[in-house]
Structure 1
């Protein structure tokens, strides 16, 4: 089958590789333009761009699509059977959605209609959902509102992190989109009942609010790492919390209850397990506290 692949982050790479390995003719790969990264701010291609080059595939990186008529025409001229889209990062305008004979299939990392939007993996953990999954969706102009072709689910355990769930869903999405292309299953409209939205995350989500229950903060630590992360302030430094777990204890929210990393929350307590100072490596809490003590009674911001 002659297809275009459209994706940018690590989540999309297994699908690109799977389509290539299955023998589909990938006419072109679309992804986000290279961005400055690292200390030198050198422009770096995104993960899908790098994977496409390694496979010898042509790559296009338009900065915009909505009013880019020349790009619409170039896309239509590819004479595609289908396009596969996975976390591309740009909204596809109607001319591009309608150009492939079988339309555009999206690999969405949630069990639609739950968690439409930008951050469905993190949202599922933050909400305490018991499961997440992948939906292969026929794209339309609405935000993740198109009819569903296939679904697969995975459980979310009490210690599941965003990287855990991300990798499981990326692998599942690669399998399901191959199945959808092969079987061409009937499309099922999404019910509007139960639709929820996962807004884009930002650095403003990182600071820890110790007045929240420990169970909620535990989910935030598991959901928001590696980005935007979770952090507290102490001695004018933003200390990242890379791992934590609920613990027994009670006290004024944000107060260290012992010398070993247990912090009082609005309800219960949180045991800090792995921390990181700015510009330093991450450390297990016992190693961190040897060089940066947080004795009982210390109040964290």
Structure 2
């Protein structure tokens, strides 16, 4: 098929690669514009999709908006059979949605209608869901409201957002390729709006760990925000992120360090960090962290 691909972060790269590997004609890639990055933000950094598309020799476009008639005409002039969208980052106006012969298909990282919106993986982990997955949906003007073409599921278990994102990216890539094979025969299924939940964008203000919660909720919070933005506490005035944790036995004042293994009391039971990161330092396991940071039993963490 003649395809326009629209995506930006690492999550989208496996889908782009899978389309190429399946011998589809990817005529153009749309992605977010390069952003300031590198040392002191003086270098422009291309998106992960931009870099992969360039490696593959595919034309790349990165408009700041698709609202102008000129951009919409340029998009339509590609005469695509379908547009495949994966975490692109821009709202698609109706003329864009209507331009490809089969419209625009989205790789969404949840089992719709649950977790529509910007942060479905983070929110599913933080909410304590046991299963998540990928939905391939036909895009329409509403936010992730379009009819569904295919779904695939996977258990969440104790995965972090980073780990689950990588897994779902690969699942989504293969599911999209399979969907395109059967596209002419599929019957779109409308979503039940009454069952919808919304995955709002992660606010950095959510990242501070609240020890006045049960240990299970604290662990989910930590895993849901790992690796970014990272759930944190303060130690001697310095932020320390916990990137992975496990439930532990123990009780005490919420935030109280219960032993020399950094077991920390919660509102109910306790947690123990497995992987941590001090501000400005690389991530490290608990033993490495404790060799350089003495946290006395009885310390109450903020």
TM-score bracket, shorter-length normalisation: over 0.9
Aligned to 1:274: 275
Alignment check: 8 A CA contact 1:258 1:296 kept: yes
Aligned to 1:25: 25
Spell out the pairing of 1:215-234 with structure 2 (5 A cutoff): 215-234=216-235
State the secondary structure of the residue aligned to 1:40. helix
Aligned to 1:254: 255
Aligned to 2:170: 171
Alignment check: 8 A CA contact 2:160 2:244 kept: no
Task: State the shift of 1:177 in Å.
Answer: 1.0
Number of equivalences: 299
Alignment check: 8 A CA contact 1:261 1:273 kept: no
Task: State the shift of 1:283 in Å.
Answer: 2.1
CA distance in structure 1 between the partners assigned to 2:134 and 2:275 by the alignment: 30
Deviations 1:88-144 (A, max 9, x none): 000000000000010000000100000100011111111111111100000000000
State the secondary structure of the residue aligned to 1:232. strand
What is the RMSD computed on CA atoms of the aligned residues? Answer: 1.0
Aligned to 2:86: 86
CA distance in structure 2 between the partners assigned to 1:238 and 1:217 by the alignment: 17
Task: State the shift of 1:275 in Å.
Answer: 1.8
Alignment check: 8 A CA contact 2:6 2:83 kept: yes
User: TM-score, normalised on structure 2?
Assistant: 0.97
Alignment check: 8 A CA contact 2:108 2:135 kept: yes
Deviations 1:126-184 (A, max 9, x none): 11111111000000000000000011111111x21112211221111111111111111
Spell out the pairing of 1:44-193 with structure 2 (5 A cutoff): 44-65=45-66, 67-157=67-157, 159-184=158-183, 185-193=186-194
- Say if 2:3 is the partner of 1:8: no
State the secondary structure of the residue aligned to 2:40. coil
User: TM-score, normalised on structure 1?
Assistant: 0.97
Alignment check: 8 A CA contact 2:125 2:220 kept: yes
Task: State the shift of 1:272 in Å.
Answer: 1.5
Deviations 1:167-202 (A, max 9, x none): 221111111111111111111100112210101112
CA distance in structure 2 between the partners assigned to 1:172 and 1:278 by the alignment: 33
Deviations 1:269-290 (A, max 9, x none): 0112222211122222222122
Aligned to 1:287: 288
CA distance in structure 2 between the partners assigned to 1:72 and 1:282 by the alignment: 44
Aligned to 2:215: 214
In 2 relative to 1, CA 49–273 (structure 1 residues): closer, same or farther, beyond 3 Å?
Answer: same
CA distance in structure 2 between the partners assigned to 1:153 and 1:68 by the alignment: 38
CA distance in structure 1 between the partners assigned to 2:274 and 2:23 by the alignment: 45
CA distance in structure 1 between the partners assigned to 2:55 and 2:203 by the alignment: 31
Unaligned 5+ segments in structure 2 are none
Deviations 1:223-252 (A, max 9, x none): 111111010012111111122111111111
State the secondary structure of the residue aligned to 2:52. helix
CA distance in structure 2 between the partners assigned to 1:284 and 1:3 by the alignment: 44
The runs of at least 4 consecutive aligned structure 1 residues that moved more than 3 Å come to none
Alignment check: 8 A CA contact 1:205 1:228 kept: no
